[in-house]
Amino acid sequence: MTARNVVLHVADVHKRFGGLHALADVDLQVEEGTTHAIIGPNGAGKSTLLNVCIGRLAPDTGAVVFDGQVITGKQPHEINQMGVVRVFQTPEIFSDLNLLQNVMVPAFAKRDGAFRLNAMRSVATRTDIRDEALHCLEEVGLLGQKDAVAGSLSRGDKRRLELAMGLVQKPRLLLLDEPTAGMSRHDTNSTIDLLKKFKGRGMTKVIIEHDMHVVFSLADRVTVLAQGRIIAEGSPDEVRGNARVQEAYLGGAHP
Amino acid sequence: MWSNAARNDWILLAGFSLVVLCLPLILEPIGAAYPALMQKFCIFGIFAIGFNILFGLTGYLSFGHAAFLGVGSYAAVWSFKLLTMNAIPAIVFAIVCAAVFALVIGYVSLKRSGIYFSILTLAFAQMSYNLAYSVLTPLTNGETGLQLSLQDPRIIDALFVAPQAGLPRVNLFGLHTSGGGYAGFYLCAAALIVCFFIALRIFRSPFGLMLRAIKSNQTRMRYTGFNTRPYLLAAFVISGMYAGLAGGLMAVTDPLVGAERMQWTASGEVVLMTILGGAGTLVGPVLGAAVIKYFENIFSSFSATTLQGVFGFLPDVIERPLVSFLSLFVGDGWNLTLGVVFMLIVIFLPGGLMEGLRRIWSLFGRRPGGGDKVPAAQTQLAE
Ligand SMILES: Nc1ncnc2c1ncn2[C@@H]1O[C@H](COP(=O)(O)OP(=O)(O)OP(=O)(O)O)[C@@H](O)[C@H]1O
Ligand SMILES: [Mg+2]
C-alpha cells in the first residue's frame, strides 16, 4: 500500500476506570480514505476508544491527533466542527423532533458553525439545508417518514436516522459504533451499500462492529481489541487467520 | 408545504392581533372590559411569552424571572424621574437594564442545568429582592417603593415644558398612559402584538429549532458541533428582555414600584401562567396569563359577605359552614384556588389549556378519517 496521509492517530492512550484498565497502550493510525474496523469482545474498550476520540472522555495519558492537530482537551463541538463525527452505539437522536428536523440540525451545524444567532429568519427559507437533509434521508431510506416524530421509530430506524445525521455533515472522519446492531439482514446490507458509496467520496471511517459480514464487506484494515489492548492488526484476511484473535473471541483473552 | 406554513403563521398573527385589539368588545359580556384589567392581561401576556421562549423551547425552568420584571419597573421609573415622562425612553431603558441583568444572572446560572439551574435563578431573584428591599434603598426607596416626586429633575422635560403644579403624568406624545385609560391599554396591546410576532419568528427560526433540539438532547447537540451555552444564554437574555419590557409597561401604566414585584411568588406566577396555558405553544402563555389575571380579579374581590349573598337561599345550618369553607378560597385566599386549579391542570391536562382546546377541537371539528391528520411534531409547531 502506498503511504497515505494518516488522518487519525491515537497515540499511546491509557484510560482507567478505577481498577479497570479500559484502554492500555492503545496506539492506532487510520489512513485517509480507508475504512478501519475495530473488533473485539464485549467490554474490550471499543466504545471507550471512540469516546476518547470525540472528547467525551479525557485519556489518562496519551493523546489523539486528527489531521496533524492534537484534539485531546478540545471541546466536543470543536472536534465536530473540525470534521470528526460520531454515530453512537445507543442511538442519540432528538426524540421530540421530526426526522427532517433531526437531520437539518446537524446540517445547520456544518453550514452555520457552532453558534449563530439567526433568530429572525425562518427555517423554511433555508432550502439549501432542507434539500441536503431530504437527500440524506432518502439515502438511508427514511424519506417517506420525514414528518414522523423521531422518538417513535424502531431501533433499527433510529440507527439509520443517526447515520443520516452523521452523513449530512459530510465529515472527514466518521466514527461508527455498531451501526447495524438491531437491524434486519436486509437493512444491514443496504447500510453496507450506503457506506461503500461514501467510501468512493473519500470519507475516512472507523467502524466498530460485531457482525463479521459487515467487517469483511467494508474494512480495509482491522484492529482487534481485547481487555483494552490491541492484540492484532492487519488486513481482514490476516486478522481472520490470527490464532490470538480466535482465542480472544472464544475463551477469555490472556494478552 | 413551506409557503403553506408561512401563510398559516400570518393568519395566526392576524387573528391574534384582531383578538387583542378587540378585547374591549370581546370582554364586555364577562364584565372585564375595563382598561386597567385588560392592560394587565397584555403585560402579563408579554411576561409569559418571554418566559416561554426560555422554558418552552429549552426546558430550562427559571424561578427568578420576576427579578427582571422588577428591574424593568425600577429602570422605567428612574427614566421618568431623571429624564422625561415620555413612555418610550422608559421602555427602552427598562429593556436594556433587564438585558444586562439577565446576561449576568444567566451567565452564572447556566453553568448548571436542571434543578440546580432553577435554584440558582431563584437565589439570584431573592437576592435582588433583598437588595431592592433594604440594601439599595437609595436606588429603590426600599419599603416605601420608588415613586415620582415634585423634586425630580426630569432634565429633558425641563428643557421643553414649564413644570406645572402637581405631579406630571406618563405620556406617549400627548396621550396619558397611566391612570387606567384606553391609551395605556392600547400601548400595552401594541407591545403584546409586537412581542407575539417576535416570538413567532423565533419559534420558526433556526435559532428556535436549535433551542428545541437542546431541550430534546443537549448532549447530542454538543457532539453535533454546537456550542450550546451561547444558545441558552441568548434565550435567557431574550426572555429577560421580555420581562423587562413587561416591568417597564407596568411602570408606564402606573409609575410606582415596590420590591415585592421581585418576590419569588411573582416568579412562580409566570411559571403557573405558562404551564397553565401550555408551555412550548405560542398562544398558551398569553391565554394562561389572561385566565389567571381574570380569575384573580374576580376571586380576590369576593368576600364572605358576597358569598352569603349568593348562598342566602340555603338554610342557615348549611349556609354557615359552606360559606366559611368557601371563603377560604376567595379574597386573600385566592392563591389557594389557584393552587387547586393548577394541580388539576398538571394532573389531567399536562399540555395546559392549549391541549384542552386541541382535544375539544378534535372532538367536534374533525371526524375521524377526515384525512387532514397532522403529525404530532407539526401540530406542536403549528400552535
Ligand atoms: N464511563 C465509564 N465509567 C466506568 N466504566 C466504564 C465507563 N465506560 C466504560 N466503562 C467500562 O469500560 C469497559 C469497556 O467499555 P466499552 O463500552 O468501551 O466496551 P465495548 O468494547 O464498547 O463493549 P461493547 O461491545 O459491549 O459495546 C467496560 O468494562 C465498561 O464497563
Ligand atoms: Mg461499545
Domain count, chain B: 1
Contacting residues for A44 by C-beta, under 8 A, at least 6 apart: A225, A226, A227, A228
- Say if B373 is an interface residue toward chain A (CB within 8 Å): no
> Is B269 domain-assigned?
no
Domain that holds residue B108: 33-264
Alpha helices in A70-141 (DSSP H): 76-82, 99-112, 127-140
Model confidence at A3, pLDDT cuts 50, 70, 90, reads: low
Tens digit of each residue's pLDDT (9 = 90 or more) over A229-247 = 999 899 988 888 888 777 7
- Res B382: pLDDT: 39
Radius of gyration of chain B (CA): 22
What are the residues of chain A with a beta carbon less than 8 Å away from any beta carbon of chain B?
Answer: 54, 56, 75-77, 80-81, 86, 88, 92-98, 101, 104-106, 108-110, 112-124, 126, 130, 147-149, 165, 169
A21, A23, A47: residue to mutate for ligand 1 pocket, most atoms within 8 A of CB: A47
| Residue bearing the CA closest to ligand 1, atom 7 | A17
Q: What was the ipTM of the complex prediction?
A: 0.91
B41 touches chain A (CB under 8 A): no
Q: Which residues of B touch A106 (CB under 8 A)?
A: 224-225
C-alpha distances out from residue B281 to A65, A156, B9, B278, B377, Å? 45, 31, 13, 6, 12
Q: How far does the centroid of ligand 2 lie from the alpha carbon of residue A15, in Å?
A: 15
Q: What is the pLDDT of residue A136?
A: 95
Neighbours of B359 (CB within 10 A): 12
Q: Which of A92, A120, A165 sits opposite B205 (nearest CB)?
A: A120
- Of residues A238 and B166, the one with the higher pLDDT is A238
- Between the CA of A251 and the centroid of ligand 1 the distance, in Å, is 19
Q: Which residue has a Cα nearest atom 17 of ligand 1?
A: A47
Cβ–Cβ below 8 Å for A96 and B225: no
Would residue B331 count as lying in a domain? Answer: no
Question: How much is the pLDDT for B366?
Answer: 60
- C-beta separation of B209 from A108 below 8 A: yes
Say whether A27 sits in a helix, a strand or coil.
Answer: strand
Q: How many angstroms separate the alpha carbon of residue A22 from the centre of ligand 1?
A: 7
Residues in chain B closer than 8 A to A153 (CB atoms): none
Q: Give, in order, the Cα–Cα distances in Å from B23 to each of B26, B182, B190, B194, B300.
A: 5, 11, 12, 16, 22
- Asked whether the beta carbons of residue B225 and residue A77 sit closer than 8 angstroms, the reply is yes
B216 at the A interface (CB within 8 A)? yes
Average pLDDT of the residues in A103-129:
92
Q: How much of chain A exceeds pLDDT 70, in percent?
A: 96
Q: What is the pLDDT of residue B376?
A: 39
Shortest distance, CA A167 to any CA of chain B (angstroms): 12
Residue B270 covered by a domain:
no
Residue of B nearest to A79 (CA): B225
Predicted pLDDT of residue B134: 87
Which amino acid is it at B11?
I
Bigger pLDDT: A200 vs A11: A11
Q: How confident is the model at residue B367 (pLDDT cuts 50, 70, 90)?
A: low
- Amino acid identity for residue B202 in this structure: I
**Residue B248 pLDDT exceeds 80:** yes
Within a domain: residue B99?
yes
**Domain for residue B141, yes or no?**
yes
Output the pLDDT for position B2. Answer: 56
Test the B interface: residue of A103, A105, A169 with most B CBs within 10 Å: A105
State whether the beta carbon of A47 lies less than 6 angstroms from ligand 1. yes
Q: Note the pLDDT tens digit of each residue in A44-62.
A: 999 999 999 998 999 999 9
The whole-number pLDDT of residue B274 equals: 95
What's the pLDDT score for residue B238?
A: 97
Q: Do A116 and B209 touch (CB under 8 A)?
A: no
Using an 8 Å CB-CB cutoff, list chain A residues near B212. Answer: 94, 96-97, 101
Cell of A136: 440524506
Question: Taking residues B118-143, what's their average pLDDT?
Answer: 90
Say whether B221 and A105 touch across the interface (CB within 8 A).
Answer: yes
Q: Give the pLDDT confidence score for residue A110 in this predicted structure.
A: 93
Residue B269 one-letter amino acid:
E
